[in-house]
Structure 1
Amino acid sequence: MKYFIATVLSKGKREEIGLYAEDRKEATNHAKLKFSGIIIKVIEGQEPLEAQFKRFKEELLSNVQKKKIKPDALIAAIRQLAVMTNAGISIHDSLSEIANATTDEALQKVFSKIADDINSGHSLSASMENFRYELGNLTIAMVELGEKTGNLDEALYSLADMLEEIRANFIKFKKAMAYPRNVMIAMAIAFTILISYVVPQFKTIFEELHANLPLPTIILLKLEYLFNNFGPYVLATLAAGFITFKYMINNNESIRYKWHQLLLKTYLIKNIIKFSTLSRFTLVFSELIRAGIPIAEALDTAISMIDNLPLKQRLLSVRITVEKGGTLNKGLEETNLFENMIIQMVRAGEDSGTLDTMIKKVAEYYKMRFDAIIDGLSEAIEPIMLLIIASMVILLALGIFLPMWDMGNAVQGRT
């Protein structure tokens, strides 16, 4: 965002007011909506140091405080909006009614602000852009589809179905992770108790006997010293590091891109991200094609809802290929994300004029692959979980018993 200075003439007084916008045209439009009086000129200027500090503080606080709308509340609100839109009630009145009726504070705040923006002359999708974090990319993409096709109610019904499907997959994911998570929490608590209360007893014995300690014992004693002397500071450092890392990911695209790249190289996580992304991308793309949206435009909208930046960048190359006159199957093949079977299906759909049907089948295929990953998640995590537990047990066992064995052997040798 750039900093602009608007010169406004109001009640015979001339004043200069700062505002942020992408370009001068947008800044002028914002100034007309925001300030009463005559807008004399709008120019790009140097952001004052005080304004920089204020913006940094606001962004930091907004990232800490802002929260997504609860999935169940959002699904219910989208269904209500679809019903009311289908009944001919204006979007502004529908949003205001839903905001007043809901008990979800985040939903109430977002829908009230969107209703105000619509009352100021903005479209529904443009108003939602300011709440991409709270609403999600998929919601905005489907609303854009409804506005382009003139069937907003149908798009909202489809959106509610998609959100319910995503919600169901998330619940399945949580259930699959419940057992491994509980086991790891129990082991972490047990390990902390042993480090904090049991290891110090052996530490006293080792110090009195002046024994040469093996590496596992040294590691345990270092951990014990860290836990008992700097425990609160370590927790505070971890919390501060997490908040800083989250802020940097949300506000720095380069860091976010590298983080997403790392996730795509991580065992198991890479498949979850890949197949969930491709499932949603093909599902939205098929809906757009079925609605008669041109392929390049449909790709634009479907790609805009993708969160993972490396995958988004690779799929953007498909749109470039199509815009240059290439076929869709050629563009998909160049991304190296799709299997040969999928490329053949898309090619057959293009040749036979049934592309929307084929893309729908592709979406069903990726949904099946994603569901299979979620169903097998617990089994896939078990080897990692066993390795971590075994490492903790071995470290404790060797760290405590190796010095005891050495001392026992030394005593026997002397006698």
Structure 2
Amino acid sequence: MEFFQATVLTQGKKKTHGFYAKDRKDASDIAKIKYSGLLIKVEEATEPIDLKFKRIKTELLQNVKKRKVKPDALIAAIRQMAVMTNAGISIHDSITEVAASTPDENLQYVLDKLADDINAGNALSKAMENFRFELGNLTIAMVKLGEKTGNLDDALNSLAEMLEEIRSNVVKFKKAMAYPRNVMIAMAIAFTVLISYVVPQFKDIFESLNAELPMPTQILLTLEYVFNNYGPYVLAILAISFFTLNYLINNYKHIRFGWHKLLLRTYLIKNIIKYATLNRFTLVFSELVRAGIPIAEALDTAIDMIDNLPLKTKLAQVRISVEKGAMLNDGLRETELFESMITQMVKAGEDGGALDKMMEKVADYYKMRFDAIIDNLSSAIEPIMLLLIAGMVILLALGIFLPMWDMGNAVQGRH
């Protein structure tokens, strides 16, 4: 991309605008569409130092990490575009206006690129294909739906509502986990302080006993030795292990599959993942069916929204069953993920020609199950927290006081 300057006459005043383009012809086309007023000239110019550094930084970061868009910023941008397109403003002008007003730099970059692609004659959904990670499969699918039906504003409104529903589930989970997380962090800090500063005060006393120390005391002294002599190395190993595991999970599908499978066997977490996934799947599927998308295509899009690979694999079988001519409720039953009541509801919806409305009720049911788990999450985690706290207290108490009692008994024996 080269840097160009366009000189435009607006309200009797000359204004100069800098921008990037592939060549002079592309620069002229962009300037005519992007800037209002009489275009006087477009010429190649020297790229300003600040913009050059900003471009290099953006390109480096783009190569190092994926560009994440804040969900709240994306939802707000989609709502703005829905309002503007409903008011008759072109999609290019809507995107340009939203890009200028959004506080999210990553989203601004994406929207600017979308506007440039639309200028080049591409459809919005086609332009979005280059930003599937940033925007998500659901966004692209709903934009395609709006382009097919000619009701892009309605599609964008529905998209914003679905993204808000998905976002609210994430927020609820984070809020529910805040208290247990903070308690666990406080416990870890307290235990580290005790091991690092309190236990060493008793170390010399214990060693002077010249007796066999009880197991709790040996554990405490071992932990104290490791913390005070190899603490930084332990933290480094833990950090490296975390980032290595994260890298392996993100880059190797079979490892990610195994990790997701392990999560589905973990106490409490398995139900959170299951009901959140089924709620998202049925929510997206019902909305697409309601909009007139064929069942097989709606299943494809809804399945693409699923992150957990074992659940995604099971639900993908539903698509295969439907393609072979089976009823949707039969395919759902074969996955063994849905209760008999749910498959009966889907069957009734298929028989009565009201599948979209019945799937909405199914989505509401799974939302209710998910909310119930989240609302009771703290009380479900409390036994585990109490067990950990009790274990820590018992270890410290026995580790410190058992030798003290032995020493006291020995002193009394001498008298």
Length-normalised TM-score, structure 2:
0.81
1:338 shift after superposition:
0.2
Partner of 1:201: 201
Matches for 1:223-234 after TM superposition, within 5 Å: 223-234=223-234
The answer on whether the counterparts of 1:281 and 1:303 sit within 8 Å (CA) in structure 2 is: yes
Partner of 1:301: 301
- Say which SS state the counterpart of residue 205 (structure 1) adopts: helix
Partners of 1:60 and 1:208 lie apart in 2 by 60
1:164 aligns with 2:188: no
Partner of 1:79: 79
Q: Does the C-alpha gap of structure 1 residues 311 and 224 become closer, same or farther in structure 2, counting only changes over 3 Å? A: same
Partner of 1:91: 91
Partner of 2:343: 343
Q: Does the C-alpha gap of structure 1 residues 303 and 148 become closer, same or farther in structure 2, counting only changes over 3 Å? A: farther
Partners of 2:140 and 2:291 lie apart in 1 by 17
Gaps of 5+ in 1: 1-33, 37-57
Matches for 1:247-286 after TM superposition, within 5 Å: 247-286=247-286
Q: Does the C-alpha gap of structure 1 residues 73 and 210 become closer, same or farther in structure 2, counting only changes over 3 Å? A: same
1:356 shift after superposition:
1.3
1:144 shift after superposition:
3.6
Partner of 2:41: none
Q: Does the C-alpha gap of structure 1 residues 230 and 115 become closer, same or farther in structure 2, counting only changes over 3 Å? A: farther
Letter in 2 for 1:281: F
The answer on whether the counterparts of 1:169 and 1:374 sit within 8 Å (CA) in structure 2 is: no
Partner of 1:403: 403
Partner of 2:34: none
Cα shift readout 1:135-186 (whole Å, capped 9, x = no counterpart) = 3443334334334443322121112112222333333333322222222222
Partner of 2:112: 112
Which deviates the most, 227-236 or 274-283?
227-236
1:191 shift after superposition:
0.8
Partners of 2:374 and 2:74 lie apart in 1 by 23
Cα shift readout 1:224-261 (whole Å, capped 9, x = no counterpart) = 12221222222222222222222222221111111111
Partners of 1:60 and 1:303 lie apart in 2 by 33
Letter in 1 for 2:289: I
Partner of 1:29: none
Partners of 1:390 and 1:340 lie apart in 2 by 42
Q: Does the C-alpha gap of structure 1 residues 141 and 272 become closer, same or farther in structure 2, counting only changes over 3 Å? A: farther
Q: Does the C-alpha gap of structure 1 residues 202 and 140 become closer, same or farther in structure 2, counting only changes over 3 Å? A: farther
1:300 shift after superposition:
0.9
- Say which SS state the counterpart of residue 337 (structure 1) adopts: coil
Q: Does the C-alpha gap of structure 1 residues 240 and 366 become closer, same or farther in structure 2, counting only changes over 3 Å? A: same
Cα shift readout 1:350-380 (whole Å, capped 9, x = no counterpart) = 1111111111111111111111111111111
Partner of 1:368: 368
Partners of 2:272 and 2:159 lie apart in 1 by 21
- Say which SS state the counterpart of residue 292 (structure 2) adopts: coil
The answer on whether the counterparts of 2:166 and 2:280 sit within 8 Å (CA) in structure 1 is: no
The answer on whether the counterparts of 1:125 and 1:143 sit within 8 Å (CA) in structure 2 is: yes
Letter in 1 for 2:138: L
Q: Does the C-alpha gap of structure 1 residues 208 and 274 become closer, same or farther in structure 2, counting only changes over 3 Å? A: same
Letter in 2 for 1:405: W
Partner of 1:51: none
Cα shift readout 1:306-328 (whole Å, capped 9, x = no counterpart) = 11111111001001000001110
Partners of 2:217 and 2:78 lie apart in 1 by 58
The answer on whether the counterparts of 1:211 and 1:403 sit within 8 Å (CA) in structure 2 is: no
The answer on whether the counterparts of 1:60 and 1:247 sit within 8 Å (CA) in structure 2 is: no
Partner of 2:190: 190
1:65 shift after superposition:
4.1
Matches for 1:354-393 after TM superposition, within 5 Å: 354-393=354-393
Percentage of identical aligned residues? 76
Which deviates the most, 311-320 or 205-214?
205-214
Gaps of 5+ in 2: 1-21, 25-57
Partners of 1:361 and 1:247 lie apart in 2 by 39
Partners of 1:317 and 1:151 lie apart in 2 by 32
1:353 aligns with 2:359: no
Letter in 2 for 1:169: N
Letter in 2 for 1:224: E
The answer on whether the counterparts of 1:142 and 1:284 sit within 8 Å (CA) in structure 2 is: no
Which deviates the most, 86-95 or 352-361?
86-95
RMSD of aligned C-alpha atoms?
2.5
Q: Does the C-alpha gap of structure 1 residues 111 and 245 become closer, same or farther in structure 2, counting only changes over 3 Å? A: farther
Partners of 2:145 and 2:218 lie apart in 1 by 62
Partners of 2:275 and 2:158 lie apart in 1 by 20
1:281 shift after superposition:
0.8
Partner of 1:213: 213
The answer on whether the counterparts of 1:96 and 1:115 sit within 8 Å (CA) in structure 2 is: yes
1:341 shift after superposition:
0.2
The answer on whether the counterparts of 2:81 and 2:156 sit within 8 Å (CA) in structure 1 is: yes
Partners of 2:86 and 2:72 lie apart in 1 by 21
The structure number with the bigger radius of gyration is 2
The answer on whether the counterparts of 2:137 and 2:301 sit within 8 Å (CA) in structure 1 is: no
Count the aligned residue pairs.
362
1:91 shift after superposition:
2.8
Letter in 2 for 1:385: M
1:143 aligns with 2:143: yes
The answer on whether the counterparts of 2:169 and 2:276 sit within 8 Å (CA) in structure 1 is: no
1:59 shift after superposition:
12
1:208 shift after superposition:
2.1
Letter in 1 for 2:264: L
Q: Does the C-alpha gap of structure 1 residues 66 and 287 become closer, same or farther in structure 2, counting only changes over 3 Å? A: same
Partners of 1:63 and 1:257 lie apart in 2 by 26
Which deviates the most, 389-398 or 145-154?
145-154
Q: Does the C-alpha gap of structure 1 residues 303 and 217 become closer, same or farther in structure 2, counting only changes over 3 Å? A: same
Q: Does the C-alpha gap of structure 1 residues 116 and 156 become closer, same or farther in structure 2, counting only changes over 3 Å? A: same
Partners of 2:277 and 2:63 lie apart in 1 by 24
Partners of 1:401 and 1:207 lie apart in 2 by 14
